[in-house]
Amino acid sequence: MFINTENKLIWKNGSFQKWDDTNVHILSHTLHYGTGVFEGVRAYDTLNGPAIFRLKEHTNRLFDAAKKINIEVPFELDEIIHAQCETLNKNQLNAGYIRPIIYLGNEGLGLRAKELSVNVAIAAWEWPSYMDPEAKKKGISIAKSSYIQYENPLHSGNKIIGTYFQNTMALHEAIDKGADEALMMDANGFISEGSGENIFIVKDFKLMTPTKDHCLNGITRQSVIQIAKDLNYDVIEKNLTFDDLISADEAFFTGTAVEITPISKVDDVKIGHDGAGEITKVLQNKFDEVISGKDLNYQSWLTYTK
């Protein structure tokens, strides 16, 4: 992913700095031990101007993650919400990806993370699509990973920096196998998620997805569940096995980066017909209406920045 950093600004601890001047000390505790949290947020160009999708929910999860690992954020939640809007506007973006991160300073090094400064930074940049745009139509291939997700229940449900090592290794393993993405199982052998996405399967016109105990309760996941229910589809949260997936009529990933991306193949097994399945297409189209502000029933999910 190439980021155009020309004239870009990053919000850090209450003020804006030039992109290349915003540095982290080499002895930052977070760099060495992974004690920090982050979020991934998307903004979309709508008829009413730039709008950030489910900004409050993302920011609440950021603060919840910090609390989970005993980091006291030195800003109020509303300040970080406003800062994300301001970062998008300062960088003159009508659409893009927003990355808030909370990390610890370099006042001391060692496992003891007490009395270290807490820093908050927010970057924003253009990011049209995480996957090849054709993937939304044709689907992607995934490979079952040998890496286990969420062996420690403490790590589930939030974006904690130090826990993403498994995800990176799983993705690299999948790419080395020739796949586009990874499928991670949990410690009990049930399906968890992709390396950075939630997963849904469709069987006999019913949608199924792992329970919150087995995966990150993604904001896009929650949105798709609500949209599907509003469209009168049955949505079942349950323990899913690998056999459930390979016998599915359709399967797709959801996430801030991938939005709704169909899965066409798992290892050597083809899923459904060529391209996105019938229900996947319906959800994709409705999701596009929601994020573009065209469906007024979901206006509360959009935060307009101007």
Average pLDDT value over all residues in the chain: 93
Q: What is the pLDDT, as a whole number, of residue 153?
A: 55
Task: Name the one residue in this structure whose structure tokens are 């509003």.
Answer: 230
pLDDT greater than 80 at residue 151: no
Higher pLDDT, 112 or 229: 229
- Measured CA to CA, the distance from residue 121 to residue 152 in angstroms comes to 27
Task: Name the one residue in this structure whose structure tokens are 């927003």.
Answer: 98
- Measured CA to CA, the distance from residue 34 to residue 28 in angstroms comes to 10
- DSSP classification of residue 69: T
Residue intervals in the chain for CATH 3.20.10.10: 135-291
**Architecture of the domain whose range is 9-125:** 2-Layer Sandwich (3.30)
Mean pLDDT of 122-146: 88
Out of 12, 144, 159, 265, pick the active-site residue: 159
Q: Which residues contact 81 (CB under 8 A, 6 or more apart)?
A: 55, 56, 59, 303
**pLDDT tens-digit readout, 261-289:** 999 999 989 998 878 999 999 999 999 99
Q: Report the SS3 class of residue 43.
A: strand
Q: What is the pLDDT, as a whole number, of residue 241?
A: 97
Model's pTM, two decimal places? 0.94
For residues 206 and 234, the answer to whether their CB atoms sit within 8 Å is yes
Mean pLDDT of 155-173: 86
Higher pLDDT, 63 or 131: 63
Return the percentage of the chain with pLDDT > 70, whole number: 96
Known catalytic residue at 159: yes
Report the DSSP pairing between strands 198-203 and 191-193.
unpaired
**Residue 251 amino acid letter:** A
- Measured CA to CA, the distance from residue 228 to residue 167 in angstroms comes to 28
**Architecture of the domain whose range is 135-291:** Alpha-Beta Barrel (3.20)
Residue intervals in the chain for CATH 3.30.470.10: 9-125
Q: Which helix (H) or strand (E) holds 60?
A: helix 55-68
pLDDT greater than 60 at residue 155: no
Q: Which of 301, 277, 128, 158 is nearest to 227 (CA)?
A: 301
pLDDT greater than 70 at residue 243: yes
